[in-house]
A and B are shown apart, each in its own frame.
Chain A
Amino acid sequence: MSDHIVWIVLFPLMGAVACALSGALSKKLCYPISVISMIASVWASVHTMMQAIESPVHEISYILGGWSLDLFPRGVGIEFRADLLGALITLVVTGVGLIVTLYSKVPVQRETPGKEPMYYGLFLLQICGLAGIALTGDAFNLYVLIEVAALTGYGLIALGSNRAAAATFNYVILGTIGASLYLLGVGYLYLKTGTLNMVGIREVIEAQSLYDSPAMQVAFVLVLVGILIKMAFFPFHAWLPNAYCHAPSTTSCLLAPLVTKVMIYVMIRMVLTVFGVEFSFESTLWTEVMPWLVAVAIVCAAVMALAQREIKRMLAYLIVAEVGYMVGGVWIYNYYGLIGSIFHVISDACMTLCLFLGAGIILEKCRTTHFDGLRGLFAKMPLTMIGFFIGGFSIIGLPPTCGFFSKWYLITGGMVSERWEYMVTLMFSTMVMVVLFFRLIERIHLAVDESGKNLGKGHGDLGLTEEQTRFDEAPLTMLVPLLIAASIVMIIGVYNQEVVDQIEVFLRAYNLPTGVSYK
């Protein structure tokens, strides 16, 4: 039986319930339960990926409740579909989830003492919701899963300080607007097509050629705007920086790499699978307008990132800029742009994970993430800093990290579509990121390179004592996940062709312009 696809979601769900139940017995049980359920979930998603690669149509369909497509019309039951894109994203979600779960042992105990059962319950349900979003083939089920992910996200952020709660309120309001607009859009879709199944909707659109229908156009706008709000695309990004900056560090490690990226996946899914290429790109104005909006978004986010003096906040603005990259990759409308976009979803998840894990360790050891608190950290925590900077180099786009290759495809896509505004802003924000990270390197590394003591000599001098520069690495449960994440960034970079092959197999089913002929 190919039940693995549903186990991906069920393992975290059962783990969450077990955590909530075990809270009565012992709070120490939560961590092992979470780790075990996440390992099982990763195992299931690896299996699903294998099955999707091996299957002749590169797609697994699993109808929940036994309402098989042979006997019943499509859309009677809820369908789980794992094509190669969905399987890849699921693998990323569960993989990141596992790494963050491993990492969570120390910070969760410190930041939310006494609330571990609930914290891990919400944590696992968040992963469950995100993995479900990547797998579901039903537009309304997607809404429910988005709400699962959103509500756990609110809870996980607001668990922190009062400041975090204040930041959460904005997130609740904007997140609810986004999800509700999506729901409304699905309503319009249902009104015109009479089905909720994603493939079913596209079949009806194509069969009845609803390309010019005002209701469909408005449905497209509503769904897309809802998702753009959820992914913190630039004008709607207001909730993100405060929420991620003030959240408990494990929460930001989980949410920052996944939530926005999964929403970009949803956008790609909507554009390709639900509305279809012809509707999305050719009968709307979005292809004309979006690259310009993206350009504005990237520039603004990059400039705001430059103005920050605190690592977590800076990273939050970087995420907003990265969202701009990926959205742009979709809307420049060509084959390479979409490859770049999808590959960037994967690589950005890994490198953001790296950076946030690093920031979490810094916060744990130094009690601050402000730039002024970082001096001499390289002498103190060399391994952490190496992991952190591999993530940073990947964000900049230095080979052989995975960020280089995804950016390469994005730029190729921009070139093929002759979207110069997109390319220029991509280059600009790369420059900004170079400035950002080399400024950090200077602070962290160079300030103490002479025997660990430089009193009053030159820029950035703090007069560190011996004690402050002594080797003092983070606990292993935090360090090892960071190093795993860093090595994954490198491995995906080295084996990028394998990943891109799968994405290409997925994209060939859609009729996208390439500028050149297919291989």
Chain B
Amino acid sequence: MKRAAFILVLLIGLLLAWAAKDFPTWGDPHAPASSSPVSSHFISNTGVDTEVPNMVTAVLADYRGFDTMFETVVVFIAGLAVISILRGGPTRRTRDREFVVDFEPDLIVTNTVRLIVPVIQIFAFYVLAHGHVSPGGGFQGGVAMGASFILIALSWDLKTALTRFPIERCFTVAAVGIVIYAGIGLLSMALGGEFLDYAHLAKVLPVSPEMARYHAMLGVEIGVGFTVSAIMFALYASLSTDGRMQDGL
């Protein structure tokens, strides 16, 4: 089995290496991918179309917003699936852990975390809201937000974190995130555009169509942030406790 796998893998490697000689020169600005009308359009026209300085955010949330919506849905699916797969097991630990986790939260750790967590959360908001101008956006901000709750769970225990963010609320928040995303899309559809055509939101917002895209992108990123932060925490909570939602890591 192992030998067969090794030979198979080597064959694939040779195939890929054979193709590599056909690749354009490293970093060539005139390579088809870099000089195609599509990516040139993104680089030259993002400012005109959406007024967003960060092209990645603009392409992510607007030009290819439909992808991003389904990416959010993938995260949501992961949360749904993990929770439902693990739920309904034995309520007590059936097999002993190899490690006994010290149950008493450490004073120094908890006090440090007490100081850090607000900073992390503010930073998460910053990353989310400033994603138009600097690297960042809904995913990164959402993950940072989820990580702050994971940090609480790690330094105290899962129960403390779950009182702040119960698992049912995780679900609701994640679903609300998708509702926000799809809702902005549907709203633009109701205003006469295509799905996710944010320019039509200018009819209800007191801004130009380009700025409407700008603001709608922020809304969309907030939706993404909701879903991602809730699901990341829910993933941790389910996986660390084997679905029992008590006495985690």
Contact = CB atoms under 8 A, between A and B. Distances in A.
Given A64-B65, A65-B62, A218-B15, A148 B85 contact: no
A381 B197 CA distance: 53
A233 to B, nearest CB: 16
Determine the main DSSP class of A at the interface with B: helix
B80 A66 contact: no
A69 interface: no
A215 B73 contact: no
Interface string A12-27: 0110010011011000
A159 B84 contact: yes
B77 A125 contact: yes
Interface in B15-62: 15-16, 18-19, 21-24, 31-39, 41-42, 62
* Range of interface residues on B (Cβ < 8 Å): 35 or more
A65 B73 contact: no
B38 A75 contact: yes
A115 B88 CA distance: 9
Contacts of B194: 3, 6, 62-66
8 contacts: A17-B175, A24-B168, A122-B77, A144-B70, A193-B32, A194-B37, A194-B39, A215-B23
A67 B196 CA distance: 10
Contacts of A78: 64-67
A77 B63 contact: yes
A76 interface: yes
B195 interface: yes
Contacts of A191: 23-24, 31-33
A131 interface: no
Given A112-B84, A158-B81, 15 more contacts: A17-B182, A20-B171, A24-B172, A64-B194, A64-B196, A66-B197, A75-B38, A125-B73, A141-B66, A148-B77, A151-B81, A155-B80, A191-B24, A218-B15, A218-B18
Given A14-B182, A76-B42, A147 B74 contact: yes
B179 interface: yes
B24 A141 contact: no
A133 B198 CA distance: 24
A287 interface: no
Given A118-B84, A215-B22, A66 B77 contact: no
Contacts, number: 172
B83 interface: yes
Interface in A123-152: 125, 128-129, 132, 138, 140-141, 144-145, 147-148, 151-152
Given A66-B197, A192-B32, A195-B38, A144 B71 contact: yes
Interface in A68-103: 72-78
B141 to A, nearest CB: 21
B84 A190 contact: no
B199 A66 contact: yes
Contacts of B62: 65
B137 to A, nearest CB: 17
A17 B178 contact: yes
Given A10-B182, A23-B171, A115 B87 contact: yes
B84 A194 contact: no
B136 interface: no
Contact of B35 (A77, A132, A194): A194
A221 B11 CA distance: 13
Nearest to B82: A155
A114 interface: yes
Interface string A149-177: 00110110011000001000000000000
Contacts of B176: 21
A155 B175 contact: no
Lowest 10 CB-CB distances: which A-B pairs, in order?
A194-B36, A155-B81, A66-B197, A218-B19, A118-B84, A73-B37, A215-B22, A194-B32, A214-B22, A75-B38
A17 B179 contact: yes
A378 interface: no
A119 interface: yes
Contacts of A119: 84
Nearest to A168: B85
B189 interface: yes
B85 A165 contact: yes
A3 B196 CA distance: 12
A141 B67 contact: yes
A217 interface: yes
B132 interface: no
Contacts of B78: 151
Given A23-B171, A148-B70, A155 B85 contact: yes
A517 interface: no
Given A119-B84, A155-B77, A67 B19 contact: no
A3 B197 CA distance: 13
B200 interface: yes
B33 A144 contact: no
A114 B64 CA distance: 37
Interface string B195-220: 11111100000000000000000000
Interface string A29-73: 000000000000000000000000000000000111111000011
A115 B84 contact: yes
Contacts of B39: 194
A68 to B, nearest CB: 8
A90 B189 CA distance: 22
A178 interface: no
Interface string B202-245: 00000000000000000000000000000000000000000000
B19 A152 contact: no
A141 B67 CA distance: 6
A125 B74 CA distance: 9
Contacts of B42: 76
Contacts of A188: 19
A159 to B, nearest CB: 6
B36 A193 contact: yes
A451 interface: no
B67 to A, nearest CB: 5
Nearest to B20: A215
Nearest to B176: A21
A426 B15 CA distance: 32
Interface in B168-194: 168, 171-172, 174-176, 178-179, 182, 186, 188-189, 193-194
Nearest to B171: A20
B219 to A, nearest CB: 14
Contacts of B63: 65, 67, 76-77
A515 B66 CA distance: 43
